[in-house]
Amino acid sequence: MGNRNRSNVLLVEILIAVLFFMLSATVLVRVFVTARNMTVRAGVETQALADAQNVADTLYAADDPDAALTDMGFQLYHGAWTRATDDYTLYVESAEEPAEAGAYWKGSVRAFYRNRSADQVRQEDEELFALPCTRYREVRA
């Protein structure tokens, strides 16, 4: 009888060890998935920032911002210029204020991360950053 109790105790001990390793494996898989998602998001954010800086520089140098945005592939949608990629969306909003000798153009380039995984289909896009850009244009007489 005593030998049978020892076998049951050993079996329970092995079962506890297996459960512990299963729990550890589950936690490690979640950690690695989270790390991969963070890496992918950081790559998208870097790409979006480079793209937004390019747009801001082009707008700063352009005499006609609307034509420049059209040439860069933006479309006017509800008062804001929009260009979407698979991973992020860029929005450009602008306004021009008249001044004594010209016009003061103010704009911002905003980037949004596209949340489109299976469990986030109905979730809104998350804003990554907003990059302001301004320019004073003189009126030549």
Average pLDDT over residues 109-129: 74
**Cα distances (angstroms) measured from residue 1 to each of 9, 11, 13, 47, 124:** 13, 16, 19, 70, 65
**Cβ atoms of residues 87 and 116 within 8 Å:** no
pLDDT tens for 9-53 read 888 999 999 999 999 999 999 999 999 999 999 999 999 999 999
| Cα–Cα distance measured from residue 136 to residue 102, given in angstroms and rounded to the nearest whole number | 7
Residues sharing a CB contact under 8 Å with residue 97, sequence separation 6 or more, in sequence order: 103, 104, 105, 106
* Residue 95 CB-density burial (10 A; 0-12 exposed, 13-18 middle, 19+ buried): exposed
Round to the nearest angstrom and report the end-to-end CA distance of the chain: 109
Is pLDDT above 70 for 1? no
| Cα–Cα distance measured from residue 7 to residue 5, given in angstroms and rounded to the nearest whole number | 5
From the CB of residue 26, how many other CB atoms can be counted at a distance below 10 Å?
Answer: 10
Token code pair at residue 34: 């989270």
Is the pTM higher than 0.95? The answer reads no
pLDDT at 96: 85
Question: Which ranges in 62-97 belong to alpha helices (H)?
Answer: 65-71
